[in-house]
Amino acid sequence: MSENAPRHYIDGHEISGGRLVNLIDRAEELRNGRPQEGSGALAGKSVALIFEKPSTRTRISFEVGVVELGGHPVVLRGDEMQLSRGESVEDTARVLSRFVSAIVIRSGSHENVVTLGEYASVPVVNALTPMFHPCQALADLQTLKQRFGNLDGLKLAYVGDGNNVARSLAVAGSLTGVEVVVAAPEGYQLESDVPAKLTDDPREAVHGADAIYGDVWVSMGDEETADQRRADLAPYRIDGHLLSHAKRETIVMHCLPAHPGEEITADVLYGDRSAVWDQAENRLHAQKALLEYLLAS
């Protein structure tokens, strides 16, 4: 990387484990200081927030976060841009880099986000692709640190579809000393070279885990196979029975949106051991810390 190359956050490997821990500590500072606390890191700057797919948490937390850092968010749907009419990703990157100080993008094509990063002269942040969801994982690390005081040595059991969220947890966990175990059935498991332990047995996965983590069974883009997915993943529902195989103090996490009764039961989602609402809130703090870091000269 040349000295002037922008800092990106696309597959989660761009930031070292030590730096991730610093970012989480900063995110905690921002959380404790809110609403007064803000570095003004984005004063006088604009950030493009491009959403080619639906979003509640990511879109709102980035928009609010940019404002709280003193900047101006430019929120765009993919179909509002010439990108949707054939303008190239490369040219979009070149032009946006002349206007804004960072580009945050949720896209159905991971390759397009990588290309955007190659041609942009400002930081590019992955706000979810079919491959990765690194901003979610960052907020999840913050949630784990809040609950347990440290990351190194924790065990997180992801149960369900081996998808973008699972893959990003594996990356973030491997960088920070969190052991990630992914329990998924055949055909839904992550590739064998991800930095996680893979199993098809949910009970084995949750044994000794500090956190059990779930996500939807039908991710955006998977709608055509929804019925098959629901049938195949049914044994991987996070419910009281599965929790009985974990420790008493094990917490439950979910990136949301959830489908109570499908991948997680309502009693678990809304129960005492659920950390999901803190996870959602932490999207704001973690992403503010991320933007400060990416834009620091």
Which of 200, 180, 172, 205 lies closest to 282, judged by CA? 172
Phi, psi of 234 (to 5 degrees): -50, -40
Q: Catalytic: 193? A: no
Q: Is 47 helix (H, G, I), strand (E, B) or coil?
A: strand
Which residue from 8, 31, 45, 57 is in contact with ligand CP, where contact means CB under 6 A? Answer: 57
Q: Quote the DSSP letter at residue 236.
A: G
Catalytic entry in 8, 26, 59, 106: 106
Binding to ligand CP by residue 282, rule CB under 6 A?
no
Q: Catalytic: 133? A: yes
Catalytic entry in 210, 255, 279, 287: 255
Binding to ligand CP by residue 274, rule CB under 6 A?
no
Binding to ligand NVA by residue 60, rule CB under 6 A?
no
Binding to ligand NVA by residue 137, rule CB under 6 A?
no
Q: Are 73 and 67 in contact (CB under 8 A)?
A: yes
Q: Catalytic: 283? A: yes
* CB nearer ligand CP, residue 21 or residue 128: 128
Catalytic entry in 31, 136, 161, 189: 136
Binding to ligand CP by residue 136, rule CB under 6 A?
yes
How far is C-alpha 8 from the geometric centre of its chain's CA atoms? 15
Residues 6+ apart with CB under 8 A from 269: 252, 254, 258, 260, 276
Residue nearest to ligand NVA (CB): 219
Q: What is the rounded CA–CA span in Å between residue 118 and residue 64?
A: 27
Q: What is the rounded CA–CA span in Å between residue 125 and residue 71?
A: 16
Which residue from 8, 9, 47, 58 is in contact with ligand CP, where contact means CB under 6 A? Answer: 58
Q: Quote the DSSP letter at residue 6.
A: P
Q: Which stretch binds ligand CP (CB under 6 A): 41-49, 76-84, 227-235, 252-260?
A: 252-260
Binding to ligand NVA by residue 140, rule CB under 6 A?
no
**Residues in touch with ligand NVA (CB under 6 A):** 128, 163-165, 215-216, 219-220, 255
